[in-house]
Amino acid sequence: MYALMVAAMATTGAPPSGAELRGHGGPVRAIAVLAPDRIVTGSFDHRMIVWNVDSGTARRVLGFHDGAITALARASDACFVSGGEDGQVALWCGNEPRPTRTYSRHQGPVTALAVDGRETRVASASFDRRIIVSPIVKEAEGPFVIEGDAPVNGIVFSPDGSNLFAAGYDGSLRSIKLSDRLTEKRVQVGSPVNNLVLAGNEELVAATADGKLLFFDPKLNQEATLEIQLGPLTNLTVSPDGSLLATAGLQGSVAIVERRARRKLTSIEGPGMPVWSLAYDLKGSVLYTGGADRVVRRWDGRTGRPLDPITAETTDTALPEPQHRGAAVFRACRACHGLTAADSNRAGPTLHGIFNRRIASEPSYEYSPALKQLDIIWTPETVARLFEVGPALYTPGTKMPEQKITNPADRAALVEWLAKVTR
């Protein structure tokens, strides 16, 4: 039913030209630009939408992944690649309603995708600590697996396609020679690296969990550090010419950075925060953002000025007791979790009545099998512990995005606020 409703937008009741793109049933988790007039978006609602951005219409609605769409990448003029929290990677070409090809499945969520410069191979990274390199065209080598020591959060091919650069949850950056699949060099940066891009074929830029952008040459020699915010940076994209960067986290605004000058140009504080996905268009003049309010918006790629009329957020604009410190902390959670008994149609279960409830027991939500095996009762202490050590460690097998609340006062405020508003 959902797919039919969104597909109908392509012929009736479509947004006018230049309008925000609305159609997803959950936060927009990934964006890939396919052509000057075409993008594809993926969401927590398990769906992908191919949009005509000039007319604001949905050209195709695609369903395949059994979980949120976590990564998208352009593969060629006619194809793109998708990855999901179900560990699956799929190639989509033309106007086919099903994948042209599926690839070796990861044992954990896909965190990143990269396509080499010749458009012959795709590399997928995962929380299962593996990178899988697969052929897009028949004559390309693959598939083969590169094992690692920690979850991999970002990958890019070197300009000549001979190496892969990988960013790890353990704070490592690796250069991997693909001919023998061995690590040529590894550096540690002291904080988890959440994203990685190659800018202008000349420099690697990493976004870290301590709110910094780190700049490296292709031999992994660090050149500079730029502090962006106090919280983690989870999203990072680069303009095609390598001159501009855009980065964001789940608790902050979008920062636009002039790369070569190492300076922050502006911030986007608009609706839809937190921003889950970012992508520059093929000219670098337009920045697309996918927000917690399920909307895709367009901004001037350098100034951050909105290119379309801004409408109000459509979900959770007013939180209960908004002045409470815990309400501010909850902003990063509200994209996935409602607070009332009726608010269950999201990427995560409603938190209504969470305290003294057994984990994975909310009847309106379908949990992962691993979560159902855990012996946890949600109390103020266990909720605080979840955010102290992180979901991946405290609730292994969860679909919840990895995030921590490192400030004990913020954790206490969140628990106190939840106790009031979820009764």
pLDDT tens for residues 157-182?
Answer: 999 999 999 999 999 999 999 999 99
Beta strand pairing call for 222-227 and 212-216: antiparallel
Q: Which helix (H) or strand (E) holds 268?
A: strand 263-268
Q: How far apart are CA 214 and CA 223, in angstroms?
A: 8
pLDDT higher than threshold 90 for residue 13: no
Predicted pLDDT at 370: 84
Tokens of 123: 């590399």
pLDDT of 9 reads: 36
Question: Residue 171 to residues 167, 195, 210, 294: CA-CA distances in angstroms?
Answer: 7, 11, 11, 31
Note the pLDDT tens digit of each residue in 310-344. 765 444 446 888 889 998 888 767 756 888 887 76
Q: Taking residues 74-102, report their average pLDDT.
A: 95
Instruction: State mean pLDDT over 206-232.
Output: 95
Domain boundaries, the chain: 2-300, 325-421
Between 180 and 7, the more confident residue is 180
Among residues 9, 70, 13, which one has the least CA distance to residue 290?
70
The band of 393, judged by pLDDT with boundaries at 50, 70 and 90, is: confident
Higher pLDDT, 360 or 270: 360
CATH architecture of 325-421: Orthogonal Bundle (1.10)
Distance between CA atoms of 222 and 207, rounded to whole angstroms? 13
Q: Which of 188, 109, 203, 190 is nearest to 156 (CA)?
A: 203
Mean of the per-residue pLDDT values of the chain: 88
Residue whose structure tokens are 């979850």:
151
pLDDT value at 247 more than 70: yes
Are 247 and 213 spatial neighbours (Cβ–Cβ below 8 Å)?
Answer: yes
On the question of pLDDT at 12 being above 60, the answer is no
* Greater model confidence, 312 or 237: 237
Q: Does domain 2-300 have CATH number 3.40.50.20?
A: no
Give the pLDDT confidence of 263-282 residue by residue, as tens digits: 999 999 877 778 999 999 99
- DSSP helix/strand/coil, 405: coil
Helices (H), 190-323: none
Q: Please give the pLDDT value at position 402.
A: 61
16, pLDDT greater than 70:
no
Percent of the chain residues topping a pLDDT of 90: 65
User: CA–CA distance from 120 to each of 115, 136, 200, 252, 392 (Å)?
Assistant: 7, 5, 20, 36, 33
Query: pLDDT of 26-83, one tens digit each?
Result: 889 999 999 999 999 999 888 899 999 988 888 888 989 998 999 999 999 999 999 9
* pLDDT, tens digit, 9 for 90 and up, residues 133-153: 999 998 888 799 999 999 999
pTM confidence score: 0.75
Judged against a pLDDT cut of 50, whether residue 11 lies above it is answered with: no
Is the predicted pLDDT of residue 398 greater than 60, yes or no?
Answer: yes
Mean per-residue pLDDT, 212-237: 94
Q: What is the pLDDT of residue 167?
A: 97
